[in-house]
Amino acid sequence: MESSRRRFLFALAGLALAGANCSRNQLPQYEPPPVHQPLPPLADELRLVVFGDWGSGQIEQWQVAQGCDNAAAELGGFHAGLLLGDNFYPAGVDSVSDPLWRHYFAQVYDTPWLGLLCWHAILGNHDYAGDELAQVEYTRHSAGRWSMPAYYWRQDFAPAGRAPLLTVLGLDTNPECPRRKQQTAWLKAQLDELREAAWPVIALGHHPLLTAGGLDMKKDVGEELEPLLKNPVLDAFFAGHEHNAQLLVANGFTQVVLGGGGKRLTGLNEKAPHLLFSAVDYGFGVLRVRRGAMSLEVRDRTGKVLHVHKF
């Protein structure tokens, strides 16, 4: 009952915004690309495109997708995408057949260089206003374009027959997560297993631990996850929730916020502690990993590089 009521209130808020500014809620008419560029073979360098807070149905979402396509063309393609939650505004999806899958996901990211990508996704708070389990189940209905095999998951990116270039641990940082205790135990076991890994390990969660904007994890979730997320096994923690870009480093803990995927921007304090870079703009990140080296390019909605960080 409470979930249905919350979804109704989110939807009502979305209708109010649409009435106030209809043009913000209109994507360009979908036109399939004439060709899809094949995915590059994974060999010496792994390239991942990363962003969150994207499924707005606003023109800015489409602009970011076009910028991702521009960056892919420049770099020779991405190997996969990472989505940091708040996948569908204002209130998630109803089912695996919800039209939002087509209008906000499949069509927007059907570009020459993105149309064959698999997007590895986690859940955000807006996704819990709908049927969050439908986003897990859609993995089996997406023809390989969407991957959320569980509320939390692990993905190793490895060239054939070789050790991984990168391990990604996807987490559910929402207080409503029905498997929080299991997730905490699982994350601890993963970090123990990866203690001797010779490659980088990152974690994804929708809510940040550190922020220059004030929207961080709920206290109880943060108390559960903070000791694990600050484990030296992790090279970085990637989050969304704040609709901007931030890079924060504190006592060996590196956190990246990439929440400019398409929803209306939120401000931040540029003088906040531990903040090395920030941009209140729509955009995305490009994670590039080679043996012994990992870097992040923060790019704006056109694909222009704003900042490069080497881990």
Burial 73-86 (b: 16+ CB within 10 A, else e): eebebbbbbbbbbb
User: How many C-beta neighbours within 10 Å does residue 222 have?
Assistant: 15
User: How many C-beta neighbours within 10 Å does residue 107 have?
Assistant: 18
User: How many C-beta neighbours within 10 Å does residue 66 have?
Assistant: 17
d(CA 234, CA 254): 9
Task: Give CA 8 to chain center in angstroms.
Answer: 25
Task: Give CA 11 to chain center in angstroms.
Answer: 22
What pLDDT score was predicted for residue 25? 66
- Beta carbons of 201 and 167 less than 8 angstroms apart: yes
Task: Give CA 190 to chain center in angstroms.
Answer: 20
What values do phi and psi take at 202, rounded to 5? Answer: -125, 160
d(CA 153, CA 83): 13
What values do phi and psi take at 16, rounded to 5? Answer: -65, -45
User: How many C-beta neighbours within 10 Å does residue 91 have?
Assistant: 23
Q: What is the 3-state secondary structure (H, E, C) of 120-153?
A: EECCCCHHHHCCHHHHHHHHHHCCCCEECCCCCE
The H helix count followed by the E strand count for the chain is 6, 14
d(CA 72, CA 70): 5
Task: Kindly give the confidence (pLDDT) of every residue in the chain, 311 residues in length, as a single tens digit, with 9 standing for 90 and above.
Answer: 444 444 444 444 444 444 434 445 689 999 999 999 999 999 999 999 999 999 999 999 999 999 999 999 999 999 999 999 999 999 999 999 999 999 999 999 999 999 999 999 999 999 999 999 999 999 999 999 999 999 999 999 999 999 999 999 999 999 999 999 999 999 999 999 999 999 999 999 999 999 999 888 888 999 999 999 999 999 999 999 999 999 999 999 999 999 999 999 999 999 999 999 999 999 999 999 999 999 999 999 999 999 999 99
Name the token pair of 284. Answer: 């995305």
d(CA 155, CA 22): 39
What pLDDT score was predicted for residue 215? 84
What pLDDT score was predicted for residue 216? 80
- Beta carbons of 241 and 215 less than 8 angstroms apart: yes
DSSP per-residue codes, 144-205: TSEE--SSSEEEEE--TTS--SEEEEE----TT-TTHHHHHHHHHHHHHHTTT-SS-EEEE-
**Kind plus residue range of the DSSP H or E element containing 257:** strand 253-258
Q: Does domain 2-310 have CATH number 1.20.120.1200?
A: no
3-state secondary structure at position 48: strand
